Amino acid sequence: KYNTEYKQLWNAFISEAKNATFLFQREFMEYHSDRFVDYSLLVFKGETLVAVIPANRNEETFYSHQGLTYGGLVIKESLKLKDILEVLKSSLQFLEAEGIKTCNIKLLPSIYTTAPSEALDYLLFILKGDLYRKDVLSVIDYNAVPKTLSKVRKRGIKRAEQQGLVVKEETDFKAFWNTVLIPNLEQRFNKKPVHSLSEIENLYQQFPKQIRQFNVYYNDTIVAGTTIFETKKVAHAQYISATENKQELGSLDFLFHHLIHTVFNHKHYFDFGISNENQGQNINEGLLYWKESFGARTITQDFYSFNTANHNLLDAVLL
């Protein structure tokens, strides 16, 4: 979203700098603007957009956007290692010139890339990045998913079937948010969902094919649900919640068995998300066990911190 003056300045800059190697455009995100000072970057080579860095700024520190589940450096699939090096180097030079001293980057989990892409991992090693956080994601690989469920999950699914539970995909998020998710988070953790109801509704309007809501009903009353963020290769459970009688009803077991083996069985991966607490230092054992009992196994997401001035270290990489 740009104001008129900014658009005019940017267009003038583009027209006068067509020969520049990489240009930078600040992209002001309306989403999460009340919580973070957006500092997302679009990286251009000439007039071609080649990379995006969703980010926010806090004084002299640049973050992979703290309001997004996954982030990092998102690049065109055609870019090779040398190109990515130039993107990163130019980005850091730009940030240093803007008075930003520290850069905190979270890597995009490998399952979300459309092709092998660990160039950034290598370049963060060259930049002497400090690994300050490491999250654990529970992921089902459909090429390796177990043929049989654990006995505990089977019992939960059987209870749900006996009591006539029904799974419905819906386009209205109100029932899940107001009846299940918000009350559950408030009661158990004294927290609110990261996305308000109006925010998730707005996101759905923009991405109706990528955001899907599945609810579970018992005697026409909602008892559980999940919000799925869908990409080309992955179905990611962004929110999972159920009423207090979830064990008695088997509502979540029933829901996720249906999603994993029927709705999303054409995907490469099903991502349950993290089970971490305290910035990756601890794991909720019960939550992890529940995810793994469906056949999920562990991958990780790394978070690095380094000085923007370290961009000089990239000069000597290529011989």
Q: What is the mean pLDDT of residues 231-245?
A: 93
Per-residue pLDDT at 91 exceeds 90? yes
- Give the model's pLDDT for residue 104: 96
- Give the model's pLDDT for residue 312: 96
**Measuring CA to CA, which residue among 172, 175, 159 is closest to residue 220?**
175
Task: Compute φ and ψ for 238, nearest 5 degrees.
Answer: -75, -40
Residues sharing a CB contact under 8 Å with residue 287, sequence separation 6 or more, in sequence order: 275
Q: What is the mean pLDDT of residues 43-65?
A: 90
Of 167-176, 221-230, 243-252, the one with minimum mean pLDDT is 243-252
Torsion sign across C-alpha atoms 171, 210, 164, 180? negative
Per-residue pLDDT at 113 exceeds 90? no
Q: Taking the model in full, what pTM does it have? A: 0.85
**Measuring CA to CA, which residue among 314, 305, 304 is closest to residue 93?**
314
Report pLDDT digits (tens) over 196-212: 999 899 989 989 999 99
Mean pLDDT of all residues belonging to the chain: 87
Structure-model confidence comparison of residues 152 and 71, the more confident one: 152
Of 108-122, 140-154, 197-211, 254-268, the one with minimum mean pLDDT is 140-154
- Give the model's pLDDT for residue 76: 84
Report pLDDT digits (tens) over 1-23: 344 554 555 455 445 444 444 55
Q: Can you name the residues that pair with 27 across neighbouring β-strands?
A: 40
- Give the model's pLDDT for residue 163: 93
- Give the model's pLDDT for residue 2: 40
Q: What is the mean pLDDT of residues 29-48?
A: 78
pLDDT bracket for residue 309 (50, 70, 90)? very high
Residues sharing a CB contact under 8 Å with residue 153, sequence separation 6 or more, in sequence order: 253, 257, 293, 294
Can you list the pairs that 282-291 forms with residues at least 24 positions away whose Cβ atoms lie under 8 Å?
283/136, 288/136, 288/138, 290/252, 291/138
